[in-house]
Amino acid sequence: MGLDYFEKALVSYQGIKSPIGIIGGEPLLHFKFKEICDIMLKYYPREKYVLFTSIDPDKSKYKEIIEKTFGIVAYHPHTPEQEITHLHQPLTIAIKDVIKNEKLKKDLINDCWVSRRWCGTITNKGGYFCEVGAAIAQIIDVSGWDIEPRWWEKEPSEFGSQLNLCEYCGMCIPMERQLMSDKKQKISLSVLQALKEKGLHTGDFELHVREITLDDIKKAVKTWTPGKYKDEQMAEKDEFSTIDWGNYEN
């Protein structure tokens, strides 16, 4: 996104109570990172800003700019130790491919832990109700909302066509996660087709075609902590699903 668009996006967050985060890819590789920070400091104090990075900020050429601009730096270095111990959720398994029961699929989407814990996101294609959905929209070409002031106050009933993004996502499904060192990404057919249609390289992947059943979910949810990939010992499974799976019926 260009700097003028970035500034408009930043202005649209006026009035929001939550922090404002900058993500990428990798923000510190952006060729106009300094100019971005200059714009940021025009509108909010540094305590409002979070930088998400996998580059050591203390060794970055932007070290002083980072300290001046961001109150919080979420640094995730992807160390060799993390590669063999940390787990991630394979979101490229589309729920529409693996959950055949429509009620179960709807309940999982409505219970998505990402929607409860994360917030709206702006990309070059507009504003989105979900950070993951915004990334998926880059692949399946779903336009975001115009970034007018307070666009982020939209209610679920106003999400409209963006709800289709959830159909291509696997974040809300309690299932086995993958080690970071496992570079063979699990992908279901709909996501694979979308990637190929965009001419995007899939790398080494494993095609997931098996249905995920209610019994699979009830088993997986007992140890399923998808947002705690950095601190497994602190994981609280109740944060990630509010459904009473013991009494759940299709």
Helix (H, G, I), strand (E, B), or coil: what is residue 61?
coil
According to the model, what pLDDT value does residue 45 have? 96
pLDDT at 238: 60
**Does residue 67 lie in a domain region?**
yes
Kindly state the tokens that stand for 210: 């098996």
Report strand pairing: 49-53 vs 20-22.
parallel
Domain presence at residue 104: yes
Residues 37 and 119 in one domain: no
Q: Are residues 180 and 117 in the same domain?
A: yes
Residue that finishes a domain, picked among 57, 77, 97: 77
Single residue among 77, 105, 134 that ends a domain in this structure: 77
pLDDT band at 67 (very low <50, low <70, confident <90, very high): very high
The pLDDT value recorded for residue 33 is: 97
Closest CA to 156 of 95, 106, 104: 106
Choose among 85, 37, 83, 43: nearest CA to 60.
Answer: 37
Count: domains in the chain: 2
Does residue 242 lie in a domain region? no
pLDDT of residue 231: 57
Same domain, 207 and 128: yes
| Stated length of the chain | 250
In a domain, 145, yes or no: yes
Do 134 and 54 sit in the same domain of this protein? Answer: no
What is the overall mean pLDDT for the chain? Answer: 91
Residues 42 and 95 in one domain: no
Question: Is 243 contained in some domain?
Answer: no
Give the model's confidence band at 24: pLDDT under 50 very low, under 70 low, under 90 confident, else very high.
confident
Based on the domain organization, do 110 and 199 belong to the same domain? yes
Our measurement of the distance from residue 118's CA atom to the centroid of its chain's CA atoms, rounded to an integer in Å, reads: 8
Whether residues 56 and 87 share a domain: the answer is no
- What is the per-residue pLDDT for 49? 98
From 14, 47, 77, the end of a domain falls on 77
DSSP codes joined into one string, 67-104 = HHH-SEEEE----HHHHHH-EE--TTS-HHHH---HHH
218 closest CA partner among 240, 247, 238, 239? 247
Q: What is the pLDDT of residues 107-131, one digit of tens each?
A: 999 999 988 877 789 999 999 999 9
Range of the domain at 31: 3-77
- Top pLDDT among 230 and 78 is at 78
Are residues 109 and 40 located together in one domain of the fold?
Answer: no
